[in-house]
Amino acid sequence: MIELISKLPIAPLDPAKLFGREAPLHVDLGCGDGSFLCELAPQLTEKNFLGIERLSRRVEKARRKSETIDNVRVLRAEISHAVRYLLPGNSVVTFYLLFPDPWPKRRHQRRRIFTRDFLDCIAAALQEGGFLRVTTDQLDYFRQIEGLGRAHPQFEIVAVDDVILPSTKFERRFCEKGAPIYRVTLRKVSPVK
Ligand SMILES: C[S@@+](CC[C@H](N)C(=O)[O-])C[C@H]1O[C@@H](n2cnc3c(N)ncnc32)[C@H](O)[C@@H]1O
């Protein structure tokens, strides 16, 4: 059984120890079966990629897929716990939040992961100038994310076209159905004093 890290005592990770080297850290929040990580990491071998996922079967699958890829690690953990407690401050260069659970029903929307508090924790874990890249197929969620990003003093919305990201499993599924996909990238900036 793969232990859920949020049930263990809180101790911040040491990324250099986890990967056996110091390298810019990219974190995929809700990495599912790891297909995105396993496509991107071999293209960017000079970076470390950490997947966070709470479902043990998906973690197992992601670990199997990434077995032969040196710069990928997968942890079974809750996203909010990992961002708040496990990742050291100013340690992450890029977060990916790709198709977070949408909770489309109005009465369920308070379960959505993306809140002001979540964004505060992301800001703390990100290095200055670091990115949070988000995709969703839900227009109202997208607007909520954009609004929270715009209102946050430590973020600006930016256009990023340097790296073409691989499609995730859910992205391929939505594309096949012809569903629209919304993307936004937030960059951590110094708050205006
Ligand atoms: C809609 S799927 C998207 C998976 C993947 N990012 C993709 O695009 O193919 C959302 C994933 O996030 C995971 N997840 C949702 N909430 C989570 C949480 N609070 N902590 C950890 N993982 C979570 C789910 O188990 C699922 O694997």
39-79: per-residue pLDDT in tens? Answer: 999 999 999 999 999 999 999 999 999 999 999 999 999 99
Q: Give 117-137 pLDDT, tens digit per residue.
A: 999 999 999 999 999 999 999
pLDDT confidence tier of residue 164, bands split at 50, 70 and 90: confident
DSSP codes of every residue in 130-168: EEEEEEES-HHHHHHHHHHHHH-TTEEEE---SSPPPPP
Q: Which residues line ligand 1 (CB under 6 A)?
A: 30-32, 52-55, 58, 78-79, 98-99, 101, 113, 168-171
Establish if 10 belongs to a structural domain.
no
The reply to whether 6 falls in a domain is no
Question: Which residue has 């979540």 as its token pair?
Answer: 118
The catalytic site residues sit at 101
Res 184: pLDDT: 96
Ligand 1 atom nearest 58 alpha carbon? 27
**Ligand 1 mutation target, pool 2, 55, 78, most atoms within 8 A of CB:** 55
Residue 7 lies in a domain: no
193 — pLDDT class (breaks 50, 70, 90)? low
Residue 80 domain-assigned (yes or no)? yes
The CA-CA-CA angle for residues 169, 170, 171, to 5°, reads 90
> How close is the Cα of 100 to the center of ligand 1, in Å?
6
Query: What is the Cα–Cα distance from 189 to 123, expressed in whole angstroms?
Result: 9
Query: On the CB side of 27, how many CA atoms lie within 13 Å of its CA?
Result: 28
For the CA of 55, the closest atom of ligand 1 is: 25
- The rounded distance, in Å, linking the Cα atoms of 35 and 175 is 16
CA-to-CA dists, residue 134 to 67, 69, 96, 98, 184, angstroms: 26, 24, 6, 5, 5
Q: What is the pLDDT of residue 8?
A: 57
Residue 11 lies in a domain: no
Is residue 14 included in any domain, yes or no? no
What total number of domains does the chain contain? Answer: 1
In a domain, 114, yes or no: yes
Question: Does a structural domain hold residue 30?
Answer: yes
Structure tokens at 33: 């079966």
pTM, full prediction: 0.95
Domain of 75, in residue numbers: 20-188
Q: What is the CATH number of the domain that holds 57?
A: 3.40.50.150
